Structure 1
C-alpha cells in the first residue's frame, strides 16, 4: 500500500464521528436504521450449497474490494465465496424475493456497547435495549446436498440487489431459507406449546 492510499472505507465524517459503539450486520438491507451509522454496505456471501469444506458463516462483503498481489485464475487449493440468494418457498409475503441476491449493511450504534441477536422473538428483552431491526431467522435449508451455515437474522423488510433475479439451479450460489421450529411433545424437539411445529421463527437485533 502506498502513502497516497487510505485504509478508510469512506471520508464522510459522519462515518467516523464516534469512536465507540456496538457493531452489527443488518442482513437483507442496504442501509442502517436511523439509530445507527453506516460503516459500509455490501453483498451477503457464503459457501456454495453443494460443496463440502469452505467456511460455515455468512459474510457481508464490501461492494468495493481491495486486492493485494492477486494471482489470476481459479486456484486448485482455495476456499470459495459466492453471493447468497433468497430461497423462500410457500411464504406468500416474501415470495417475490425468491432467487434474488441478498444485500447487507454493517452498522454502528453510537454510545452503545453490546449487541444481541435474539432467535425466536422479534422483540428486545426490555426497554433498556434498543431494537435495531426485527426479521426472520434464516440459514441454509436442511437437505442432503446442502451444507451447514450460521443462523442469521434477516430484516423483515428484505431488500434485494438489483438485476439479480434468476433460479440458482445449476448456478454457483449460497442460499438462505426460512427456519422452522420442530416441536415434539414426548421430548427431543423444542417444547410444544410455546413453540408451534412448522412455524417460521422470527428474530431481533438489539443493542444496549
Structure 2
C-alpha cells in the first residue's frame, strides 16, 4: 500500500541520517522537510482512526407531533404536513401512520393497481371525543409536524400517562388513537390533546382513520387501569 511504502521510506531515511551506530548527524533543510512530512502523515492517519465526538448542538432526536402544524417552543420544526397511511379496508400495504410533507417531490404517473397512500381523517365526533378535543374535528384531515429536540438522545411515547417519569421531559401530551377494531390494524400514535384540523374542508373521503382508544379490563389489569376510559399518552425526551 502507498502509505506503508511511505512509512518505510521515512524509516530508512531516519536510519541513514542517524546511522547504524546511533551517531547523530546534522540535518539539512531538505532532511527536516521530510521529517515534517512524516509528522503530518502520522497525525492525519491517526486522526482518521479516532471517533469524532459530536458537539452538543449536533445532538438531538426527532418525533412526530400528530394533530398539530407546529412544534412545541423548545423544538425546531423539520417539516409540516398531513398525516396519511393505508386505506382502512385495504388488505395489504403498510400498517403505520406517516407524516407526509406538504411540499412533496412527486414521481411519475403510473397505472398499476397498487395504490396504498391516503390522507388521514379524524373519527372523533361529539359522542366519541375525549374531553378537550372538539367534536368539529370529525371527518377533517389530520395535520402533523416533524420536530427536532436539540440536546436530547432518547425519545419515548408512553401510553397510559399524561406526564413523564422523573428525569424525562414531556414534549407534548394527548390521547392514544389508532384505527377502529372493525378495520385493518394500524399502529398506535399519540394525538395531541389540542389537535386541530388540516383545513376547513370536510368531505368524508375516509382513507386511514383515527379513532380514540379506550382501556378494556380483563387481560388488562384493573386496577390500576379503569374500564372504558380514554387512554392518555405523552411523548418524552431525555
Q: TM-score range by the shorter chain?
A: 0.7 to 0.9
- Report the alpha carbon displacement of residue 178 of structure 1 after superposing the two structures with TM: 0.3
Normalised by the length of structure 2, the TM-score is 0.72
Is 2:134 the partner of 1:99?
Answer: no
Q: Is the 8 A contact 2:71 2:145 kept in 1?
A: yes
- Report the alpha carbon displacement of residue 163 of structure 1 after superposing the two structures with TM: 2.5
Is 2:76 the partner of 1:40?
Answer: no
Larger radius of gyration: 2
User: Which string of whole-angstrom CA distances, capped at 9 and with x for unpartnered residues, describes residues 165-200 of structure 1?
Assistant: 23x3xx34110000011002xxxx210121111101
* Counterpart in the other structure of 2:169: 130
Q: 1:112 to 1:75 in 2, by over 3 A?
A: same
- Report the alpha carbon displacement of residue 121 of structure 1 after superposing the two structures with TM: 0.5
User: Which string of whole-angstrom CA distances, capped at 9 and with x for unpartnered residues, describes residues 43-94 of structure 1?
Assistant: 00011111110100000000011134x1x24422x24110000001422643
C-alpha distance in 2, partners of 1:141/1:118?
A: 21
Q: Which has the higher helix share?
A: 2
* Counterpart in the other structure of 1:179: 213
From 103, 111, 114, the counterpart of 1:64: 103
* Counterpart in the other structure of 1:203: 233
Normalised by the length of structure 1, the TM-score is 0.82
Q: Is the 8 A contact 2:143 2:196 kept in 1?
A: yes
- Report the alpha carbon displacement of residue 20 of structure 1 after superposing the two structures with TM: 2.0
Q: 1:182 to 1:83 in 2, by over 3 A?
A: same
Q: Which has the higher contact order (CA 8 A, sep 6+)?
A: 1
C-alpha distance in 2, partners of 1:74/1:152?
A: 32
1:1-208 to structure 2, matched below 5 A, reads: 18-68=57-107, 70=108, 72-76=109-113, 78-89=114-125, 90=127, 91=129, 93-94=132-133, 95-126=135-166, 128-143=167-182, 146-166=183-203, 168=204, 171-184=205-218, 189-208=219-238
Q: Is the 8 A contact 2:65 2:192 kept in 1?
A: yes
Q: 1:199 to 1:207 in 2, by over 3 A?
A: same
C-alpha distance in 1, partners of 2:132/2:101?
A: 29
User: Which string of whole-angstrom CA distances, capped at 9 and with x for unpartnered residues, describes residues 99-118 of structure 1?
Assistant: 11000000000011110000
C-alpha distance in 1, partners of 2:73/2:206?
A: 35
Structure 2's unaligned 5+ residue stretches are 1-56
Number of residue pairs matched by the alignment: 179
